[in-house]
Every structure is written in C-alpha cells, then in structure tokens.
Amino acid sequence: MANLFSHLELNTGDAGAAKAFYAKLFPGWKLADMPSGDGGVYTMIDVKARGAARAGAAGGGIQQKPMPDMPTGWTPYLLVDDVAETFARAQELGARPLLAPDDIGMGVIAVVQDPSGAPCGFWKPAAAPRRKKVAAKKSRARAKPKARRKKR
C-alpha cells in the first residue's frame, strides 16, 4: 500500500464557526453533518463536489474537540493495511499514543503524536459488502437482422 493521505480532520473548540468559515472560503466543499458515537455531530467534508479536477483529493471532517485540553488543529490520516500493527510500530519508533485502534463502523482509526510533536492518524476503511450478481434476463425473442438491399 502506498500509505496515501486519505482524510484530514479538524478538531476545534468551535465546530460551528469552523464550518461557517470553510463553507464561505471554499464554496465547492460539500459539508454534511452526521451523528457521531458520543451524541455529537461529525461534519464530513467532500472536496470532490466541484468537478473531476479534484477527483484525487482527500476528504475530511470537522468535529468538536473530544477532549477540552486537546489543541485545535488538523490531523492527517494515512491509509494503512493494518491499523494496530502500524500503531504499535509507530510507538516502537518513539510516537506517543493518542487514540488506540478503534473500530468506528466505517473502518478502524488510531492516532499518535510523532517524535516531533505532530499528530498523525492511521485509517483502514471497513471492507465493502459484496454485492450479489444479478443474472441478466436474456431476451427470448431475438431481433432478426434486417435484409440488406443490393446496390445496383
């Protein structure tokens, strides 16, 4: 896996003000509120809302800080094959754990603070459920090819 940045999350003391600011600053962003597990609101940011030029851009989210003493800021999430393994390896390399691997339904997340003091999240989306293939109905009556007229 290439370990791409897959999601950017803003943790803030005033989520309403942040949403209003970014909605005006970037009118192409689509902001959608959804309930979070703690009874709060998580706002998904879809940056692909305006055209294919942004098709490769990472999305994001805005939320009220889960801990009051947590600093306000953006946390990048990197796509990984195994969140628990990456979380453990990061700690072996000197990272401080901030959020242990947690299955949030849509996938598994974890957050560490790297040795320089910067937060870094790890993300693995849940496997998409397989769709059952529906056999296409074959038409019993086949159209007969039209007879061609010979040119004279």
Low-confidence ranges of the chain (pLDDT < 50): 52-54, 136-141
Question: What pLDDT, on the 0 to 100 scale, is given for residue 140?
Answer: 47
Q: What DSSP assignment string belongs to 62-77?
A: EEE-SSTTSPPEEEEE
Question: What pLDDT, on the 0 to 100 scale, is given for residue 71?
Answer: 82
User: Are 1 and 42 in the same domain?
Assistant: yes
How many structural domains are present in the chain?
Answer: 2
Is 0.85 surpassed by the pTM of this model?
Answer: no
Question: What pLDDT, on the 0 to 100 scale, is given for residue 139?
Answer: 46
Residue 63 belongs to domain with CATH number = 3.10.180.10
With b for 16 or more beta-carbon neighbours within 10 A and e for fewer, the 26-62 pattern comes to eeebebeeeeeeeeeebbebebbeeeeeeeeebebbb
